[in-house]
Amino acid sequence: MNPLPWHEVEAAIQKEERWLTRVFDFGPYADKSAGPVPPGLSEDKMLRQIAIAIVNGTLIAREINNPQELGLWFNDRSTVYENDEHEERHGSHWHQSMMDIVKRHFINDGFEVVNEPYLSLGRADLGVYKSGYQDLFVEIGTTSLFKTWFNTKTMSNTIFLYIPTTTYAVEIISSDMVTPNFSSS
C-alpha cells in the first residue's frame, strides 16, 4: 500500500480541524482547562492532534443531526423550557433539562445511567453503561478543549457523546490507543 502524498494528508487534517471548530461548543473557556496544560500545548495544537487522530483512524468521529428540536432523544416533541421561553439555551436550567432528557432516553433503552462519573480528567455529565457495550460518556453544552483532548487520548475503547444543542450531537469513539504523547508537537 502506497502512502498518500503529504498535501492530501494535510488537507484532510485541516478539514477535520475546521469541522471540530464548527461542531463543538468550547464556549468562552476554550483555552481554560480542568487541569494543568503541558507547556507549549496551545488550542491549535490540541485541535490538530484530535484531527490527526481522526484522520489516522485512532478516533472515529461523526455528527448526528435531527432538524426537529430534541428529535435525537424521542419522537414526540417535549419542552426543555418549563418556565421561560426566552431563557438562555445554555443556562443551568437548559443544561439540567437536557441531562434529564438524555438520561431518560438511555434508561428507556435499558442502560444504567450515572450522574457525573469520573473521567481520566474531570467528570462527564452522564455515564451510560450496559453489559456488552462500550462505556459512553455524555457532555452537554459547552466543554473544555483540553479535557476533550486529554480524555480522547487516554481513554481507549470509549464513546464520548457531546451534545452542544438540542438538534445535534458529536460522537467520538476512541479505539485502543498507544501511550499518550503529551509533547507540544
> What value does the mean pLDDT take over residues 84-109?
78
Is the pLDDT assigned to residue 185 strictly greater than 80? no
Tell me the one-letter amino acid at 40.
Answer: G
Instruction: Tell me if 1 is assigned to some domain.
Output: no
The mean of the pLDDT values for the chain is: 83
SS3 (DSSP) at 164 = coil
Res 74: pLDDT: 72
How many domains in the chain? Answer: 1
pLDDT-derived band at 179 (thresholds 50, 70, 90) equals very low
Res 180: pLDDT: 46
pLDDT-derived band at 152 (thresholds 50, 70, 90) equals very high
Give the H or E element holding residue 7: helix 6-23
Quick: pLDDT tens for 109-147: 999 999 999 999 999 999 999 999 999 999 999 888 999
Res 131: pLDDT: 94
Domain membership of residue 157 as a residue range: 6-174
Instruction: Tell me if 95 is assigned to some domain.
Output: yes
Instruction: Tell me if 76 is assigned to some domain.
Output: yes
> What value does the mean pLDDT take over residues 158-164?
94
121 neighbors 147 (Cβ within 8 angstroms): yes
Instruction: Tell me if 183 is assigned to some domain.
Output: no
Is the pLDDT assigned to residue 33 strictly greater than 70? no
> What value does the mean pLDDT take over residues 73-77?
63
Quickly tell me which residue has 491549535 as its cell: 44
Instruction: Tell me if 185 is assigned to some domain.
Output: no
Res 85: pLDDT: 45
Is the pLDDT assigned to residue 20 strictly greater than 80? yes
Instruction: Tell me if 182 is assigned to some domain.
Output: no
Res 34: pLDDT: 54
130 Cβ partners below 8 Å, 6+ apart? 110, 111, 112
pLDDT-derived band at 19 (thresholds 50, 70, 90) equals very high
Q: Give the CA distances from residue 87 to residues 16, 123, 162, in Å, rounded to whole numbers and listed in that order.
A: 33, 26, 21
Model pTM? Answer: 0.82
